[in-house]
Each structure stands twice: as structure tokens, then as C-alpha cells.
Amino acid sequence: MDREGRVCVGVFDSGIGGMTLLAECRRRMPSLRFYYYGDNGNAPYGGKSKAELLSLSRRVLGLFASIGTDAVLLACNTVTTACVEDLRKEYAFPVVGTEPALRAAAGCENLLVLATAATLKSGEYARLQRERAGHTVCFAPEKLVAAIERNAPFFEKIGMADHLPALHPDGVVLGCTHFVYLKKYI
């Protein structure tokens, strides 16, 4: 808690992506105090191994622990899918992850899932995909996170056709918090 008795929550992402979640958290829980860590210096996370992601996450969660944070939100699908279980065992405060948005898309026949390569490798995504009745294409736009970081806040400058496959799905899962900024362009 801070000096005024407010519960403190650390919010963490590789860069600006998690700020989309931060904004929603602040709207819904205005009495909490939020600290945000965007690890821009090491972004993007999407091509990193589990060992690298764990090491980067420990550095940030250690920082949150040192300032007395009461809980941490991993506002990053990549870190959640690779590391949430390990991090929950290591820290005394609750560690909340970002759930894959695949469940919400259950009704779509042809679905495009956009996420980072590291996220798509996870067992959770593979399982959810197997359980789906319709057709699913999973795609990791390799350079899109870097383009979002570079162009923010002028997202209209990013040419979607350079990054996305030429498909006409019934629905798209934004499995990376960065991609939420591009919702209307996608």
C-alpha cells in the first residue's frame, strides 16, 4: 500500500502494449494506485526464449517487490503464456496474467489469431485451438510490434498489408496487447 493506504498494482509489458490494459484498469478501479513498467529497451519480446523472458520478468517484478507493490498484472500475452506459473511460485504477491482472447471467439467459423511467435508456441494456445470447432489460422506478424513502438501514436502510418496475411476471416483474435491499438485498421 502507499502512504495514503491505497493498494498498489504493478503493470508490466514489453513496451506500450500493456497501456491499453492499464487504461481499462484505471477506469474500473480508480481507487487503486498503478505503476507501469514498459520494457522498451528490450522490446520486442515475441521472439525471445522462455529463459530470456523469465530473466527480464524477474528484473521487473523484483523492482515492483522492492517498492512494496501489492499485486502485479502481466499486461503481456507473451510473458503470461511463457512465465506466469513460474512467477506465481516465486513472488509473495498475486501475479495476474492476460488470458488469451480465443474463448471469446468460439462462435467464429474462420478465425485469424494474431499473437507473437512466443505466445503461439505455448501449450495453452495449442489446446484452445484443438478444442475449437471452426477453422483457425494462427499468425505471428514478426515486425508489427516494433512498428507499433516506432510509430506510436500515429498508428495510421503502419501499412497493415505489409504485416498481415491476405485472408478474410469472420473474426480476429488480438492475442498481443500491442495489437489492440490497431483494432480499427485491422
Shortest spacing between CB 43 and ligand DGL, in angstroms: 5
Q: Are 77 and 117 in contact (CB under 8 A)?
A: no
DSSP per-residue letters across 29-96: -TTSEEEEEE-GGG---TT--HHHHHHHHHHHHHHHHHTT-SEEEE--HHHHHHHHHHHHHH-SS-EE
CB nearer to ligand DGL: give 2 or 129. Answer: 129
Shortest spacing between CB 3 and ligand DGL, in angstroms: 32
* Amino acid at site 75: A
Shortest spacing between CB 116 and ligand DGL, in angstroms: 4
17 binds ligand DGL (CB under 6 A): yes
Restricting to residues 86-145, name those near ligand DGL by CB under 6 A. 116, 119, 145
| Chain residues that interact with ligand DGL, rule: CB under 6 A | 13-15, 17, 43-46, 76-78, 116, 119, 145, 176-178
